[in-house]
Amino acid sequence: MKISYPRRLAFYLGVTILLAWSLGPIYWSLATSLMRQSDLSTSPINLLPPQLTLDHYRKLLGGLLGQLNNTVWHDFSRALRNSIVLALGATVVTVTAAAFSAYATVRLRFPGRNLVFVLIVSTMAVPGYTVLIPLYRLMVSLGLINTYTGIILIYVSAFLPLAMWLMRSVYESLPLSLEEAAWIDGAGRFYTLIRIVLPLAAPGLIAAAILTFLGAWGQFSVPLVFAPTLETKPLTVLIPEFATKNDIDYGLINAAGILAMIPPALVVIFLNRYLMRGLMAGAGK
């Protein structure tokens, strides 16, 4: 069927607006990071850098380039390491817990299993800021403030319900006959789960890992409260601190933001197909 010209025009206009809405901030951040400091304060604003410069990246990566006593690079590299440790730690723990707990709610028979699952998943409806104060008091009493363990546990409690819900739908889509065949051959339930079920559920596991990693990488309010020092402070909290009450280095802030986008962007680019397969795993059930 031939699409009319007004419909095609509306379609392309909608796509253009969507791309501008999505990519516009990224372009502006990249352009700002490549502008000289003097070009950032002109009026009217420059939509294109009048003269490209890498000064902001040199200032940010000075320690990596051999400059001594570069506090900006020291802080940035430490925050980058913190972001990686926190995001990867939360991802590993969340996916592991979701893989076993979701399987238990699907295959094991015990009283209240559906109620337990519903209660866990329903915690996604609770706004995070409503539990910050009691959670902070709990972390203080356990001595977990400003520690990787404490922050990762908070991330896991936030992302586990979504991962568990996703894995449950994946397990429900897998035929039980494969597991029954393994049990007949003498395989135990744990062996069957590790060697047969989890390989088949790999797309769901990868999808849960991607969603958890991206969510943990972009967290701001939790590390702002529970990571007060550079020992555990991630990039999302450090970068806004480049703006002081006396000076706002827009070029440095945007250069740091561009570099901070690279890890999650690589995850999405290379693992996007697994994300879609994982999200659609239970659709044909």
Angle, vertex CA 192, rays to CA 110 and CA 207, nearest 5: 85
- The whole-chain average pLDDT of the chain stands at 86
What the block records as the tokens of 184 is 């007949």
> What pLDDT, on the 0 to 100 scale, is given for residue 59?
85
Please determine, looking at this structure, whether the domain spanning 69-279 carries the CATH number 1.10.3720.10. Answer: yes
pTM above 0.85, yes or no: yes
Query: Span 110-116, mean pLDDT?
Result: 84
pLDDT tens profile 161-178: 999 999 998 998 888 888
> What pLDDT, on the 0 to 100 scale, is given for residue 220?
92
For tokens 């044909």, what's the residue?
284
> What pLDDT, on the 0 to 100 scale, is given for residue 285?
47
| Per-residue pLDDT band at 2 (split at 50, 70, 90) | low
Give the side-chain half-sphere CA count within 13 A for 256. 27
Among 147-156, 195-204, 225-234, which is the least confidently predicted range?
195-204
pLDDT tens profile 266-284: 988 887 776 666 566 554 4
Q: Are 220 and 274 in contact (CB under 8 A)?
A: no
> What pLDDT, on the 0 to 100 scale, is given for residue 110?
81
Helix-helix angle 202-217:71-107, to 10 degrees: 140
Residue 3 has pLDDT above 70, yes or no: no
Residue 104 has pLDDT above 60, yes or no: yes
The full set of domain ranges for the chain reads 1-53, 69-279
What the block records as the tokens of 133 is 């104060």
E strand intervals along 105-176: none
For tokens 């601190």, what's the residue?
241
pLDDT tens profile 45-87: 778 888 888 888 888 887 565 555 578 888 899 999 999 999 9
